[in-house]
A and B are shown apart, each in its own frame.
Chain A
Amino acid sequence: MELLQYTLRKLIAGIPLIFGVTFISFLLMVYFGPDKTYDLLGKNPTEQQIAEIRSELGYDQPFVARYFNYVTELATLNFGRSESTGEKVSDLLARTIPVSLALVTPGFVLGNLFGVLLALFAASRRGSWVDKTIMGCSAVGMSISFLIAIIAFQLVFSSSYGLGWFPVRGWNIHSPLDYLRYVTVPTLATVFVALGYNTRFYRAVIVEELSRDHVRTAKAFGVSPAKILSVHVLKNCAIPIITRVVFSIPFIVISGSLLLETYFGIPGVGKVAFDAITTGNQPVLKAVVGLTAVLFVLAQILTDILYRVADPRVSLN
């Protein structure tokens, strides 16, 4: 009951946030975003044709009316149709979001998991050559751009100049084996880049936890290092880990990964969102921005609930 009340309270409190985000983003879209009119026009347009397209796009309506329509669309989850393809935005997102999720989830999970494990390993040997090596490698991983990592991994694992074990491009998945063939190289690239950031972040959290009194006491009582790390440290680090992980989820769900999708020819939501931004495809853009705002509110609620699970002392009140 307490949980339900808390969730409802937070949802209500999130409404102004959603209004704020949608209003500002819509303002930017309308006054500073690309004008789709000129993307849709033919080669030798007349003033009349320009006016017709603007009218078709609803650009001739007052700002307030357009914003009201947007809020209505968000409330009903009916964002109309893509101005580029004519496809229903809901169908477009339903088709592409699962692809992006399937593409980035393994990299996200493994990147965080290995990040925590390496951070535990490094922090427990703070100052040793192991720690320095892991941190050095993390810095290297952070220094290499995602784009370079993608090209390098594609070259090494997929191309005929390298091992050629995996497809260069495509997403024809009909079995778990197909999935592994197509997702492995993008996942390796993702993990390679994410690992540096994650390891450094988690190590900092763990090092701080290791210096706390209860850890020193446990050591004094002769508790094994493995038990100290897994029971006394990791559990107490759960809150910053949860925060980092849960707040990354909205980006993963909506943004996908543009670079992975374009280089590996994967039809996810990242490319759809990018095209919408660069061409001023407002129905898609409105859906992406609006849903991201909603997901952030939900992520915030989920984070608070998980705090409570991780640490019963945390009050939902």
Chain B
Amino acid sequence: MAMWRFIGTVTLSSLLLACSASDDAGNSHAAVNDKKVFRYAMGGSPTSLDPVQSGNAYANVIVSNVFDTLYNYKYLARPPELKPGLAEAMPEVSDDGLVYTIPLKQGVLFADDPAFPGGKGREVTAADFVYSIKRHFDPATRPQGAWLWQDRIKGLDEWKAAGSDYSAEIAGLRAVDPYTVRIELTRPYPQLLYTLAMGFSAVVPAEAVETYGREFGIRPVGSGAFRLESFNTAKAVLLPNSNYRDEPFNLIEEGYDPATQAYTRVAELEGRSPPFLDRLEIDFIQEGSALWSSFTKGDEVQMASLPDEQVEFVLDSTRPVILKPEFAEKYQLATGPEAGFVYSNFNLDFPEMGYNPDPERNARNKALRCAVIRSFDWPARNDSFYMGLGQVFPGVIPPGVPEFDEAMPRDSVTRDVAYAKQLLADNGWTPDNLPTLTYGTVAGVKSRLFFEQFRAFLKDIGYPSEKVVLKRYATFGDIVRAWSRSELPFVSKGWGLDYPDAENTLQLFYGPNASPGSNDANYANPKYDALFEQAATMAPSDERTAIYRQMNQMLVDDCVAVTGLTRMRITLWHNNVIAVPDSSIVGGGFLRYVDVD
């Protein structure tokens, strides 16, 4: 009897606990059946939703929906094109390219929030934008985006050096009046507008930042299409921002292409003002089996990337990507290259394979690096890990940017074992005198497989397996520390594009960006640096593209990196959803245009 009383008590307690510990995500399914609910799944979770800390792609998806940026990418234009967001129009730029005058839309309101007097969101002004950029230069906010504007906006670095006093003016970053922003640069910066479309530049209200302090990262307040209802390690729930401005959807202005986008039914949105949803739920699901089960359940996740392990089960063909009939009946599909690429680079700081004070050894090291590059079997890597869907390309200018050169010679991504062996032999390399190559990676099964495949490639050219060693790091932060401190001779990584301009990838090898900066190859080539500096101030043009391609060829010729592969994203969504998914470069901006039947 006592036992049953105990069981009853425990059961009742659990029920009570569960009801009190409910996810504050809001309504149950029954309550939202008559509303437009859309569930989108991402493969990872953000940590902070404060724009100054929105460095990861997952955070950016939410930030771009909760906050406004001065510029956005057109929803449907491929390749990406900018359009005014919070800005009224494209900027007025001075002839010397140094002064940008940006008019803001009037009457735009922040979402209602207790941080504002009376809980009513106030109007967004130019001062808010200035405040938001200043935050990137205040160490107390732990900013991640300062590198975008550092040493480029007049007076900004000095403002930080003087103690980041928000009441102090900055010569190059001013609110001329409530609706006009003026940015004065130290030198031309053609990528500036792209940076103003990034989550980092999202406009935040000072009142909310001051009210919530560091918790602004979980209680973001912006003027975007949605406001955050709840956020935890499993999902984020967003509701429409009732103060969001009326901006009817215009197919032509958004870059609609009926030939490739008609099947998405996006034309049905013409003339309506977003957001179209009553509730947007973003699930963070890393586990492929759980993601697929949830997606195919019917009343759960409605849009997700196709998990790798389901590719063969779901697709009839990968070239071109076609769904099996039973899935084509229920789901829509879109494919596209990711905005970025995966690659490995040598750390030239290490004299064993990199720069060596002895000119003869230096030349032999270069030959050794070239041999390693020619041993790499990209098609095999693509088939083994990316279902053969990835796009292999030479150099570091990936297909996602306009400067990509389809005609570039493909020698560096074409395996040639005989050539590699010859290179080694011609330069006096034998199994006995080859240096140990330490391959660093984050501990994990897939990382280990990458390494083993790489070691097998090298074995084919006579590189002894015992001289290709693995160094594992427990976390991503640990390996980033090793890269930053130039502790690893061989760096294997991926790069996500911040904007569609090859400058973003070419800077990975710019001398002044050496460790701890993003040039963890520690490539130092004065000619390359001079070309980078020359191109850095040039507006997009054929001349600039030629310089970019020349730099790209230099990297290939100097055998700096084993590069590269752009992964293909396959996105599936239910038939009742009207949407055109975008790649990570434009964040999750497309979510504001999603509708469901």
Give residues in A with beta carbon < 8 Å to B: 34-47, 49-50, 52-53, 55-56, 81, 84-88, 95-96, 98-99, 101-102, 105-106, 109, 113, 151, 154-155, 158-161, 164, 167-176, 178-179, 183, 261-267, 271-272, 275, 278-280
| A45→B517 contact, CB < 8 A | yes
| B18→A160 contact, CB < 8 A | no
Interface presence of B410 (CB below 8 A): no
Q: Which residues of B contact A46 (CB under 8 A)?
A: 150, 516-517
Interface presence of B477 (CB below 8 A): yes
Give residues in B with beta carbon < 8 Å to A: 7, 10-11, 13-15, 17-23, 25-29, 47-48, 50, 53, 55, 139-140, 142-147, 150, 213-218, 232-235, 283-287, 289-290, 293-294, 296-298, 300-301, 474-478, 480-481, 484, 498, 507, 513, 516-518
| B142→A102 contact, CB < 8 A | no
C-alpha gap A45/B234 in the complex (Å): 30
Q: Which residues of B contact A36 (CB under 8 A)?
A: 477
Q: Which residues of B contact A158 (CB under 8 A)?
A: 293, 297
Partner of A267, one of B14, B47, B233, B300: B233
Partner of B517, one of A44, A88, A113, A271: A44
Q: Which residues of B contact A168 (CB under 8 A)?
A: 290, 293-294, 297, 300
C-alpha gap A113/B4 in the complex (Å): 11
| B22→A174 contact, CB < 8 A | yes
Q: List 21 A-B pairs, Cβ < 8 Å.
A: A38-B484, A41-B480, A42-B143, A44-B517, A45-B516, A46-B150, A53-B142, A81-B215, A86-B215, A101-B21, A102-B17, A155-B293, A159-B293, A160-B296, A161-B296, A169-B301, A173-B21, A264-B290, A265-B290, A267-B23, A279-B475
| B480→A38 contact, CB < 8 A | yes
| A52→B477 contact, CB < 8 A | no
| A42→B145 contact, CB < 8 A | yes
Contact A172:B27 (CB < 8 A) given known A86-B215, A106-B11 = yes
C-alpha gap A41/B23 in the complex (Å): 31
Partner of A98, one of B17, B235, B293: B17
Output the least CB separation between B29 and chain A (Å): 7
C-alpha gap A109/B17 in the complex (Å): 15
| 7 further A-B pairs in the complex, CB-CB below 8 A; given A86-B217, A168-B290 | A42-B147, A87-B218, A96-B233, A98-B17, A106-B11, A169-B290, A183-B14
Of B18, B218, B476, B481, most A-chain CB atoms within 10 Å: B18
Give the 5 A-B CB pairs with smallest separation, nearest first.
A86-B214, A98-B21, A42-B144, A267-B232, A102-B18
| B218→A175 contact, CB < 8 A | no
Partner of A265, one of B28, B234, B480, B484: B234
C-alpha gap A173/B18 in the complex (Å): 7
Output the least CB separation between B60 and chain A (Å): 13
| A81→B214 contact, CB < 8 A | yes
| A176→B15 contact, CB < 8 A | yes
Output the least CB separation between A240 and chain B (Å): 17
Of A96, A171, A266, most B-chain CB atoms within 10 Å: A171
Q: Which residues of B contact A98 (CB under 8 A)?
A: 17, 20-21
Contact A176:B19 (CB < 8 A) given known A35-B478, A46-B516, A53-B142 = yes
C-alpha gap A246/B16 in the complex (Å): 22
Q: Which residues of A contact B478 (CB under 8 A)?
A: 34-35, 38
Q: Which residue of A lies closest to B23 (CB)?
A: A171
| B215→A87 contact, CB < 8 A | yes
Q: Which residues of A contact B286 (CB under 8 A)?
A: 262
Contact A263:B296 (CB < 8 A) given known A43-B518, A105-B17 = no
| B10→A105 contact, CB < 8 A | yes
Contact A167:B300 (CB < 8 A) given known A41-B480, A113-B7 = yes
C-alpha gap A59/B15 in the complex (Å): 43
Q: Which residues of B contact A45 (CB under 8 A)?
A: 147, 484, 516-517
C-alpha gap A275/B47 in the complex (Å): 10
| A85→B28 contact, CB < 8 A | no
Q: Which residue of A lies closest to B296 (CB)?
A: A160
| B14→A102 contact, CB < 8 A | yes
| A275→B23 contact, CB < 8 A | no
Output the least CB separation between A239 and chain B (Å): 17
Of A36, A53, A161, A173, most B-chain CB atoms within 10 Å: A173
Partner of B146, one of A40, A42, A86, A263: A42
C-alpha gap A175/B139 in the complex (Å): 45
Q: Which residues of B contact A84 (CB under 8 A)?
A: 47-48
Q: Which residue of A lies closest to B289 (CB)?
A: A151
| A280→B234 contact, CB < 8 A | no
Partner of A169, one of B11, B48, B285: B285
Contact A164:B17 (CB < 8 A) given known A45-B484, A85-B48, A172-B22 = no
Q: Which residue of B lies closest to A87 (CB)?
A: B218
Partner of A263, one of B11, B150, B290, B507: B290
Q: Which residue of B lies closest to A117 (CB)?
A: B3
| A49→B26 contact, CB < 8 A | no
| A49→B294 contact, CB < 8 A | no
Q: Which residue of B lies closest to A80 (CB)?
A: B214
C-alpha gap A265/B283 in the complex (Å): 8
Output the least CB separation between B561 and chain A (Å): 17
Q: Which residues of A contact B47 (CB under 8 A)?
A: 84-85, 275, 279
Q: Which residues of A contact B513 (CB under 8 A)?
A: 44
| B21→A99 contact, CB < 8 A | yes
Output the least CB separation between B483 and chain A (Å): 9
Q: Which residues of A contact B28 (CB under 8 A)?
A: 172, 174-175, 178
C-alpha gap A146/B286 in the complex (Å): 17
C-alpha gap A43/B301 in the complex (Å): 32
Q: Which residues of A contact B475 (CB under 8 A)?
A: 34, 39, 278-280
C-alpha gap A155/B28 in the complex (Å): 22
C-alpha gap A99/B14 in the complex (Å): 10
Contact A271:B234 (CB < 8 A) given known A85-B48, A98-B21 = yes
Q: Which residues of A contact B53 (CB under 8 A)?
A: 40
| A280→B21 contact, CB < 8 A | no
Q: Which residues of A contact B147 (CB under 8 A)?
A: 42-45
Output the least CB separation between B137 and chain A (Å): 10
Q: Which residues of B contact A105 (CB under 8 A)?
A: 10, 13-14, 17
Output the least CB separation between B413 and chain A (Å): 25
Q: Which residues of A contact B215 (CB under 8 A)?
A: 81, 85-88
Output the least CB separation between B43 and chain A (Å): 12
C-alpha gap A262/B234 in the complex (Å): 7
C-alpha gap A267/B283 in the complex (Å): 11
Q: Which residue of A lies closest to B15 (CB)?
A: A176
| B297→A56 contact, CB < 8 A | no
Contact A173:B214 (CB < 8 A) given known A43-B55, A84-B47, A105-B17 = no
Q: Which residues of A contact B474 (CB under 8 A)?
A: 34, 278
Q: Which residues of A contact B7 (CB under 8 A)?
A: 109, 113
C-alpha gap A151/B232 in the complex (Å): 23
| B50→A160 contact, CB < 8 A | no
C-alpha gap A266/B10 in the complex (Å): 21
Contact A183:B18 (CB < 8 A) given known A47-B516, A106-B11, A172-B26 = yes
Partner of B25, one of A35, A49, A102, A172: A172
C-alpha gap A53/B138 in the complex (Å): 11
C-alpha gap A288/B235 in the complex (Å): 23
| B290→A173 contact, CB < 8 A | no
